[in-house]
Homo-oligomer: A and B are copies of this chain.
Amino acid sequence: MSDGSAGRRARGGGGAARRAERTAVSIETARYISRNIPNYEVLTPEALEIIETNAETLLAEIGVNFTDNPAALQVWRDAGADVQGERVRIPRGLARTLCATAPGTFTQHARNPARNVEIGGRNLVLAPVYGPPFVRDLAGGRRYATIADFRNFVRLGYMSKWLHHSGGTVCEPTDVAVNKRHLDMLLAHMTLSDKPFMGSVTEPSRAADSVEMCEILFGVDFMREHTVMTSLINVNSPMTFDGVMMGALEIYARAGQACILSPFIVGGAMAPTTVAGTLTQVLAEVLAGVAYSQLIRPGAPMIFGAFVTSIDMNSGAPTFGTPEAALITYGAGQLARRLGLPYRSSGAFCGSKLPDAQAAYETANSLNMGLLSGVNFMLHACGWLEGGLVASFEKFVMDADQLGALHHLARGVDMSENGQAMDAIAEVGPGGHYLGCAHTQANFKDAFWRSDLLDYKPFETWEDQGARDTQVLAAARVAKMLGDYQQPPLDEGIHQALIDFVARKKEAEPDAFG
């Protein structure tokens, strides 16, 4: 895999960029999913009411902490909450009322308008893995992630048909200073892809940098009226909102940019061991966090997040693709819809160290529940390995391929005359076969989802070709995709302005590590 040198190439003048524009391959990206299938709901109306009442009780009687953030405490005091120290107790009904100004659906704009995504309603937008400090590939094994890896993941995301979103920290570029890597990451998303992306949240100042870079990319006027970033704000569960994350939230909300307000739950550690108890806490946390965003700016786009895993009570390790996480994911979707907010959950979650059968069982369990639970924004939809410690190149393309199946499942059942196929059944009749009939000829191209990766060959052919397992097939696909990659065109002036901004910011302060 080659180092990402898009920035440097362009810096040499307009020639490279113009060449890129002339030769750019048109990458096919599927439209975000619009479900034509029902949501799967595990909670009865009575259960939902109990959980909602209990969440209000938690907010009113136990309260939540807003730490290292005196201004937030004042905002809450002014809104009518009972604030003692850093503890904020929110009267029954207040948080839900405040949440009502957050939109049920919003558009996140991409620099290529064909890649805009509509987040909310019956839609599902898919974004890649977020956060791993390590990467793994078949040739190089497991190692610390670098900015070169980061750029390659952005390229793979751009090339992945079923991925609608470029994501954010697809891996941590550990070879770049902590206080500067957000600049390189954003530059990569902005220049190596034309899909929508996420902003930095690790410091309020980095959120501000993200907004500034978007002003360069999209223009200040456009930014004022449009949402161009969706960023990830974690709650320190249980029920703690720290100053850094809330500082980033405040900047994004004021700029009209979207945030996912996401409790981060390892069940049994950050929440009770039970499904109903976890859902109650998740709802209380989302209510408090989204309400706060609306106090900062009514109408700021917010997503009801729920990152949920179980814990292995023997080793303390988080576990993925488990039935308890599925029940919580289904239930949280119901709570989000009753609150009128877009919903983020699920992903290509797994605990496995390798992109093997364990990884795939756990991932498929998670992806299926994500589709059926009504998730609107699925972060980590591909590439996640080893409990999120590792971004895997092979698993990225393996998962991204499976996302195609979600698109086809979401189509639901075509009940048109062609779908009913009565003429075909009559034509073929008892004992016949459908391969040659007119209806099959007319429909076969789009009839079935077909993997671009998995092996459907007869045993003998497969064996002759090296008896390759999925990981080996995926490694070949990664190499092919990166080889075929061509940078999407970008206005040369904007490109240069982004590069200059990053350089200026980097020069302004010394490197910080760790």
- One digit per residue, 1 when the CB lies within 8 angstroms of any chain B CB and 0 when it does not, for chain A 107-118 equals 000000000000
Cβ of A37 within 8 Å of any chain B Cβ, yes or no, is yes
Contacting B at CB under 8 A, from A438-471, are 439-440, 443-445, 447-451, 454-459, 462-463, 467, 469-471
**In the complex, what's the smallest C-beta–C-beta distance from A159 to chain B, in angstroms?**
20
Contact of A469 among B326, B356, B443 (CB under 8 A): B356
Whether A270 contacts B434 in the complex (CB less than 8 A), given A356-B471, A358-B360, A448-B322, comes out as: yes
In the complex the two chains form, is B351's CB within 8 Å of A421's CB?
A: no
Minimum CB distance partner of A428 in chain B: B238
Cβ of A54 within 8 Å of any chain B Cβ, yes or no, is yes
Given A312-B456, A316-B435, A327-B412, 16 other A-B residues pairs in contact with their CB atoms under 8 A: A40-B40, A50-B420, A62-B425, A62-B429, A238-B430, A238-B434, A240-B430, A274-B414, A274-B443, A319-B450, A351-B455, A353-B459, A357-B395, A361-B363, A364-B364, A372-B372
In the complex the two chains form, is A276's CB within 8 Å of B364's CB?
A: no
State in angstroms the CA–CA spacing of A316 and B313 once bound together.
Answer: 47
In the complex the two chains form, is B368's CB within 8 Å of A364's CB?
A: yes
Among A1-9, A210-218, A398-406, the stretch in contact with B = A398-406
Cβ of A26 within 8 Å of any chain B Cβ, yes or no, is no
Cβ of A275 within 8 Å of any chain B Cβ, yes or no, is yes
Across the A-B interface, the 8 shortest Cβ-Cβ residue pairs = A277-B421, A364-B364, A360-B360, A323-B409, A273-B447, A272-B421, A323-B408, A357-B470
A-B contact pairs, 11 of them (CB 8 A): A40-B372, A62-B429, A239-B430, A239-B431, A268-B440, A270-B433, A274-B420, A323-B411, A358-B455, A364-B364, A365-B405
In the complex, what residues of B have CB within 8 A of residue A405's CB? 321-323, 365
Contacting B at CB under 8 A, from A340-369, are 351-365, 368-369
**In the complex, what's the smallest C-beta–C-beta distance from A324 to chain B, in angstroms?**
5
Whether A448 contacts B273 in the complex (CB less than 8 A), given A317-B456, A322-B405, A409-B326, comes out as: yes
In the complex, what residues of B have CB within 8 A of residue A37's CB? 42
In the complex, what residues of B have CB within 8 A of residue A67's CB? 431
Contact of A414 among B276, B354, B364, B365 (CB under 8 A): B276
In the complex, what residues of B have CB within 8 A of residue A406's CB? 323
In the complex, what residues of B have CB within 8 A of residue A471's CB? 356-357
Tally of A interface residues using CB under 8 Å: 127
Contacting B at CB under 8 A, from A35-58, are 37-38, 40-43, 46-47, 50-51, 54, 57-58
Contact of A238 among B389, B422, B431, B462 (CB under 8 A): B431
**In the complex, what's the smallest C-beta–C-beta distance from A167 to chain B, in angstroms?**
21
Whether A449 contacts B415 in the complex (CB less than 8 A), given A270-B433, A358-B455, comes out as: no
Cβ of A386 within 8 Å of any chain B Cβ, yes or no, is yes
Contacting B at CB under 8 A, from A41-87, are 41-43, 46-47, 50-51, 54, 57-58, 61-65, 67, 87
Whether A456 contacts B414 in the complex (CB less than 8 A), given A357-B357, A431-B239, A433-B269, comes out as: no
In the complex the two chains form, is B239's CB within 8 Å of A420's CB?
A: no
Cβ of A271 within 8 Å of any chain B Cβ, yes or no, is yes
In the complex, what residues of B have CB within 8 A of residue A425's CB? 58, 62, 238, 272, 277, 280-281
State in angstroms the CA–CA spacing of A443 and B458 once bound together.
Answer: 49
In the complex, what residues of B have CB within 8 A of residue A326's CB? 409
In the complex the two chains form, is A430's CB within 8 Å of B273's CB?
A: no
In the complex, what residues of B have CB within 8 A of residue A273's CB? 421, 434, 439-440, 443-444, 447-448
**In the complex, what's the smallest C-beta–C-beta distance from A232 to chain B, in angstroms?**
21
Cβ of A424 within 8 Å of any chain B Cβ, yes or no, is yes
In the complex, what residues of B have CB within 8 A of residue A470's CB? 352, 356-358
Cβ of A483 within 8 Å of any chain B Cβ, yes or no, is no
